[in-house]
Chains A and B, each alone.
Chain A
Amino acid sequence: MFRLPLKAERWFSNIKHHFSFEFDMYYYCVLAGLVKGVKQLLPSSDTKELIRSFPQDYRSESKIIVAYFLTKELEKQGISLNDRAAVHSLVKRYIDSESLNAILSEEGMRELNNYANGGIEVLENEFGHKPENIETFLLRFSKFISKSA
């Protein structure tokens, strides 16, 4: 289950009506967490259940997101891309075909959620305050990812 940090819901409150899915908020948090490599474990009371699998509109993007997540995890765990056994083991731990849309195993999902938890902290630090309008957010966010990746 994808879980959104409650803090993120508050942080996006001025602009969330522009998003078609709550998952968009989650995605922006995840991406911020991934580029900065920041993860945070939060108690479930500080997060809320979002959705079991990637929304339909993320069908093709979901695989790129998962691939980027695997890349960052390999990097974080110091696994060389030439180390077949280690790469194989990590991929095996994090992906799951049971639900094709989810793509991630329970463990993989948990780790991605941790990036979302870390990501909202990253966004708070980067922006200083919650975004007032969608245009500023999109432009600043794009710039931030571009310079931080």
Chain B
Amino acid sequence: MTKTTTLEILGWSTRGLRCPDYQITFEKDNENVYPVTLIQMPNGTGKTTTLSLLRAALSGEAEDWKYKKVLSYQKRFNPTSFGEFNVYLRYNGSRITIMMYFDFEEGKVRYFTTTGSDPSSFSLGKDNGFRPPKDCREILNPEFINFFVFDGELAQQLLDPEFSNAEKAIEYLYQLKYFDQIKNAVKSYWDRKVSSTTATGKKGYTQRKQKVVFLEERLKQLKEEKAVLENERKIKKQELLALKQKYEDKLASNAKVRQEYELRKTALENAIKEVNELTQQVIKASRSPHNLSEIIGHSVIELKKSMDKLKLPESTAKEFFMELAEEPVCLCGRPLEHEHRLYIRERATHYLGSDEMTLLNSIKSEITNQIEDPSKCSQEYQDLLEKYNKAIERRMSAATQLDVLKQDAESGDSELADVQKRIESLNNEIANIEERLKIYEDKDTELPDERTFGISVIEKRLEEARERLAEITETITIKRKTDQLTAIIQLALDLSKEQIFEHIKNEANTRISRLMPYNHIRISKVDRALKLEGQEAGSMGETLSVAYAFMATLYNGVERQIPFIVDSPANSIDNNVRTQVAEHIPKLSKQFIAFTISSERGSFVLPLERACNGDIQFFTVFRRGDPSLEELAKKFSNVTYTEDGILVADREFFMNFHKESEADE
């Protein structure tokens, strides 16, 4: 029986960092955590910072952070020379504490990990590092963490193969890495065999060996170069996304243009959606050649008519004559001699078999069914193109109107203009990286190894070089066997992936259909990213619902229960979808923690509270300094004050909290 892996977040605490100091716990009693927790933090309080800290604490990634990055976590006001972030976990019943110690003088982060014991046993004098239990590593790795510490506003990243790596996450979850380990073991075995061979004296051995080594190095180098560029692109894309969000927020905070901006933005989104839908309709319609040209329709009908006239297919099938050739006498009663049989068999080949006859008849009837009137088919297609053209024009006009508004707003706001400038520059930089990346896809096989950049070309040459080395080292049989074994392992991996991906896709689609019963958006493929059926992206609400459904499928398996931490779970979702999402959240995972802002409460919190039968925690965290909020907090009992922050654990406070001016973080 499969053991269930359970990870729970019991709480966290932060001190001396960019977000306010506070400590939060999700424990209901000694054994259970609250299934749903909402943490309301106005913009500027450190939601994004807390989320990044959580990701870093759970993945150990901050060990590699650069000086500048570490310093970006230092408090802006009254900075101290150190800071810390602790996260308290329970993994399969055992407590784990991971502490990140920020040394702002050195610009370094050190990790300390305790398992099953009191966190006070940390010894700061000894850097014991990021050491969660070994079996916990499949969950606590950077690739996977992004899938459960999730930024709702960036849900569309799941649809972008350059951002997310759904494939990797699934590989970790389903332990597919072992296939690669087996492949590596097989390769090591062959390498050992080759190196221990006695073929040293044979002519050409050294050259062949050197060739293999050179190609292995070249391949490694190219893959590394490519990975560096891809990473650079990923970072720039993240910066671009953050800047776009900043631009949107700034524009939305300008009371003069806000309403008009929202209107034009919605108009553009609708126009894009219409074009996307029509694109799929045109692609589908264009698959019938007779739709594109009336002449094609007529010529196909002509073929059908000619076949009718020529009586094709004939009424007698080849099988009839073949059987006749086996008979002792002909139909006319004359005995059949050997030469007669040969002649009948030879003539039989000129007839269609009964299956071919059926096929030809089905082609003819399809022509009749589909092309009753060629001009009508072609006219309907032209009408569709006309509609398509108009939708494209509407999209262009909506885009222009939005641009004009943006330009007007930018002319009166230099900061906004600067953000836009940086967005344009980033777009160019990303395009430039993409251009540079193309070289690794090059298929040119003419150039020498040292000037070849196409990874697949080098891979093929390496394979050939290994083959030649195997020949000379007389390890050809072992080579063949290892190749065969590797191919079997690869096939097993591919089949496993195919079936797992298909299962996840189907499960997620069932969830999507429950979340949005009147919407036809579905996942068509789970790969590096999620691919939607017939479209690049849905609306923000659709994308978020797709992302939730996908992740719920990953977490709700019988083999594991993982918490789900989301930033802005309801932002950008229409009110009716908000309610549906809220109703499904308790089913997503056993522990759901969300960071929200006050504007997200509508149509979301009450349905969520109902769906989890009131088993929910409400926290509000905000910075000190707003007298009216501080005054309000005094009326409540569950309030914790720190040097720069206030934490209120109260439902009523949560519901009535409203901060008018939410600054950018």
Contacts and interface: CB of A to CB of B under 8 A. Distances in A.
Contact of A81 (B279, B286, B302, B366): B302
B381 interface: yes
B389 A139 contact: yes
A80 B366 CA distance: 23
Contacts of B309: 82
Question: Which of A18, A64, A95, A138 has its CB near the most chain B CB atoms (within 10 A)?
Answer: A64
A97 B289 contact: no
Interface residues of A, number: 47
B112 interface: no
B283 interface: yes
B524 A20 contact: yes
Interface stretch (B357-365, B465-473, B605-613): B357-365
Interface in A113-149: 134-135, 138-139, 141-142, 145-146, 149
A149 B295 contact: yes
B353 interface: yes
B355 interface: yes
Contacts of A142: 282, 286, 292, 381, 385
A31 interface: yes
A1 interface: no
A87 B287 contact: no
Interface in B498-554: 524, 533-534, 536
Interface string B287-307: 111101101100110111011
B124 interface: no
Contacts of A18: 279-280, 283, 536
Contact of B296 (A24, A68, A84, A95): A68
B307 A87 contact: yes
Interface string A56-85: 011011011111101100100000011010
Of the candidates A63, A74, A134, the one having the most CB atoms from chain B within 10 angstroms of its own CB is A63
Given A18-B536, A135-B275, A91 B370 contact: no
B388 interface: yes
A5 B310 CA distance: 37
Interface of B: 275, 279-280, 282-284, 286-290, 292-293, 295-296, 299-300, 302-304, 306-307, 309-312, 350, 352-353, 355-356, 358-360, 362-363, 366-367, 369-371, 378, 381, 385, 388-389, 392, 443, 524, 533-534, 536
Interface of A: 6, 17-20, 24, 27-28, 31, 34-35, 57-58, 60-61, 63-68, 70-71, 74, 81-82, 84, 87-89, 91-92, 95-98, 100, 103, 134-135, 138-139, 141-142, 145-146, 149
9 closest A-B pairs by CB: A97-B355, A149-B293, A81-B306, A63-B366, A145-B292, A84-B310, A149-B295, A97-B359, A63-B363
Given A18-B280, A138-B388, 15 more contacts: A31-B289, A57-B287, A60-B366, A63-B366, A67-B303, A68-B289, A68-B290, A71-B302, A87-B306, A87-B307, A92-B356, A103-B359, A142-B286, A146-B293, A149-B293
